[in-house]
């Protein structure tokens, strides 16, 4: 398990994103949202995701990047195919990952959630390295934020149905939650 100090995981890469703001006062962190991302779509590796989350994406590198012009997004954590974890936003702050979203009748999921991006697509299986890192970091998060229970871990598609499809049908929820359940 990892350690969390002042909202930051220890022993991971820290790349602070400007795309963050304060959570509402007295807000409980009670939801974990799993996403996927690759830039350009279907291409893994490189620094494009980090560049997007830090507003440094060179829009001239790939025609697809023109679709991202003026987009200001972030997540708390990004897990690469290798299992390497980068943290962009402190858990104490609001990351801009969920957009228009609702969970159990409560809107604005960014206010009370932690967002984890997996390097991937809806059409690609995730790696064992990613599952290992995801389970470990989720276990740490659940210990620090006990309102996040197994039934409060969802995909982006669950909180933004019809608008989002990630982490996709190839994300192995059964494996992930079974491995988490073993830890708790």
Closest CA to 44 of 126, 163, 156, 164: 126
Q: Which residues contact residue 160 at a Cβ distance below 8 angstroms, ignoring those fewer than 6 apart?
A: 98, 99, 100, 101
> Does the active-site annotation cover 117?
yes
**Catalytic option among 10, 117, 119, 123:** 117
Residue 19 buriedness (CB in 10 A; 0-12 / 13-18 / 19+): buried
Q: Taking a C-beta distance cutoff of 8 angstroms, is the pair 46, 55 a contact?
A: no
SS3 label, residue 158: helix
Token reading at 156: 């982006």
Active site residues: 117
């Amino acid at each position: 398990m990892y350690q969390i100090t002042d909202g930051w995981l220890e022993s991971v890469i820290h790349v602070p994103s400007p795309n963050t703001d304060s959570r509402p006062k007295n807000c409980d962190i009670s939801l974990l949202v799993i996403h996927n991302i690759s830039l350009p779509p279907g291409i893994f590796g490189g620094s494009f995701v980090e560049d997007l989350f830090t507003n440094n994406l060179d829009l001239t590198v790939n025609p697809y990047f023109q679709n991202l012009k003026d987009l200001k997004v972030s997540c708390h954590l990004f897990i690469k195919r290798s299992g390497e974890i980068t943290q962009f936003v402190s858990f104490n702050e609001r990351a801009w990952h969920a957009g228009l979203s609702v969970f159990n009748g409560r809107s604005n999921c960014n206010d009370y959630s932690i967002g984890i991006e997996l390097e991937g697509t809806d059409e690609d299986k995730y790696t064992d390295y990613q599952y290992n890192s995801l389970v470990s970091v989720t276990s740490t998060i659940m210990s620090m934020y006990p309102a996040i229970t197994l039934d409060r871990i969802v995909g982006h598609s669950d909180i933004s149905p019809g608008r989002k499809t990630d982490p996709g049908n190839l994300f192995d929820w059964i494996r992930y939650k079974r491995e988490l359940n073993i830890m708790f």
